[in-house]
Each structure stands twice: as C-alpha cells, then as structure tokens.
Amino acid sequence: MWDVLTGRSAWCYLYMGTPDADMGADVPPLHRRIRRLCYYRLAAGVLWLVRRLPTGLGRTFCTGLIRLALTLRRRERERALANLRLVFPDMTPGAREALLRASAERLGANLFDALTLDRWHARRYEGITDDGAVDALLALRSQGRGVLVLTGHFGCWELLGGYLASGLDGLTVVTGTIHNVPVDEMVNSWRREAGMTPVPREGDLRPLLRSLKNGDVAAVLLDQNTRVENVVVPFCGHPAPTPVGFARLALKLGTPVLPVVIGREGRGHRVTHGAGLDPEDYTGDEAEIRFLTDCNTALESCLRRNPAEWVWFHSRWHEA
C-alpha cells in the first residue's frame, strides 16, 4: 500500500493524466491535475496520521472530521435532511437532526475502521460477529451457479468486503471509480491486500462475468443513483433510479442473490443476511422490474432496521 502513497503514480498523473498514459492521450487540464494531486497528498497525510492512532482515538478523530464536513458542506447536509424527511415524514425535525448527528458519528467510526482495514485483516476480523452469512454464501456457492451479494452503503461496507473475502477465500467487488487516479489506486490496493478483486462498474465487466461463471461470489452495492443504465423502482416508498444491469446479470446467468449488510455492535461489528432471491422465480414480462423491486425491498428493510448507519448524503431520489 505504501508504494501507492509514495510511488510514481501521483507524479505521473500530474504530467500525463494516468500513470500509464501516452503523452498524446487526452488528459485533464493542468490546473485540475494539480488540484487532484493536492487532494491526494492531503488524503495521504490524513491516512498517515490516522493509521498511527489507537482505535479509540482514531475513531474520535475521524468522527470529528465527519462532523466538520457536515458543518462546512451545507449542500450535503440539506440533502441528507431532505432524504430523511422523505423516508420519515412523521419524524419531528428535532428527531431528524438527532438521527443525522448519529449517522455522522457512525460514519466517522466506520471511516476509521475502513482506513485500518489491514489491522482487521491481520487479526482475522476479530470483533466481527456473523449471523451465518458466510455459511449461507458457501451453501449457495456449492450449487455451482456463482453468488451475488446484494448490499449497500450500510455500516463499514469496506470492512464487510474484507470479512467476506476472508471467509470465502476471495470476493469480486463491483466498485465506483474515484475521479482522482492516485486515490483510486490507493483504495483499490487496500481491497486487493484484503483479498478482494475490484471491478469498476463503469469499466470492463468481463472479470465479473468470469467470476460468476466460475462459481465464485461477487458483491454489488445497489443503493445509489449512479451513471449506469437505470430503471425506476420503489425504494422506501418513493421512485428511485436503480441499476438494471444487476437484474440482467442475475437473470441471465441464473445466479442466486443474498442480501448481506454490516452494522456496528458495541465496539465491533455484526454481519447479517436476509432471505435469498432466486432468479428462477422471476420469469415473464417485467421480470427485471419485479426482481429489482424485491432487491430494493430487501435493502429498505436493512435501512429501516438501522437508519443511523446508512449514508444519507447521496441523491438517491430525484424528489428529495
């Protein structure tokens, strides 16, 4: 990981846009590359500091960072409150403010745990309890059709990926792309060190297809409005753009789906899973719509069970 922090990729990006780009390639303007390099160095500096803190102090420090961001980033704060009003219309304004503060505190603690993923990996994820999710995934994998893990931005989702990769001897994860090449490389290096194989959702998906056809397990976060092809299905009672590729993949390959999330429990975390979805149960007209509706229903149950550990700052619904 440290070769990513100190190696050539950041400086190559400054000059060439990407570490392996040709000089004739289309690259961002110089001012944007300089700004992104500064963000990268800032992220590297924060990481250097955080990784030297004991767990309690580190979680407190990261929680302070999130609180500061919540104060300074008024747009994200207002978006989060709008989302809370949409999902919890009967909740008082004071209760929504309290829930937002609790969400920021959980996000800060989870940020520290994500940044110290290698610590969790080294001690074999001691402190994480499991309601049987790994056993359920192993049972589904034994059918030879591969398995799709349906999850979202709940709790410390990066830690969930590492934990599942450890229990399953590897995990393919469909990821978003951070539009800062060195930072994106840094994050993906952590994932690889923890046994995950990242596949960008806006890139070449053939590694994901190969993984499933080989009978392996892949995880997809389905709870955000992304730039990939979407269809609108309900989420928490309101129309929400939802990536349709997930349904097409599962239905075409006949891959079973298991909802799995992680949440804080005391000083550790707990992994829980819901009822599986079998694509063979979805046939006929609008099979994709019915399948995605059931997927969103499964994620909604996770959100309502533990709303303080979902990321409320995202534009999930157009009407919020």
Same domain, 42 and 102: yes
Q: Is there a domain that residue 318 lies in? A: no
Confidence of residue 29 (pLDDT cuts 50, 70, 90): confident
Q: Is there a domain that residue 315 lies in? A: no
Same domain, 52 and 109: yes
Same domain, 91 and 12: yes
Same domain, 148 and 260: yes
pLDDT digits (tens, 9 = 90+) for 128-143: 999 999 999 999 999 9
Same domain, 33 and 135: no
Same domain, 162 and 45: no
Q: What is the dihedral of CA 235, 213, 159, 307, to 10 degrees?
A: 10
Same domain, 201 and 293: yes
Q: Is there a domain that residue 214 lies in? A: yes
Residue ending a domain, among 89, 118, 147, is 118
Query: What pLDDT score was predicted for residue 2?
Result: 34
Poorest-confidence range of 31-35, 215-219, 275-279? 31-35
Residue ending a domain, among 94, 118, 142, is 118
Same domain, 173 and 288: yes
Same domain, 95 and 146: no
Q: What CA–CA distance (Å, rounded) separates 38 from 71?
A: 22
Same domain, 94 and 178: no
Same domain, 82 and 130: no
Residue ending a domain, among 87, 118, 149, is 118
As a whole number, mean pLDDT of residues 24-28 equals 59
Q: Could you list the residue range(s) of the whole structural domain that residue 96 is in? A: 2-118
Predicted TM-score (pTM) of the model is: 0.88
* pLDDT, averaged across the chain: 89
Question: Looking at the 3D structure of the chain, how many domains does it have?
Answer: 2
- The answer, yes or no, to whether residue 311 has pLDDT greater than 90, is yes
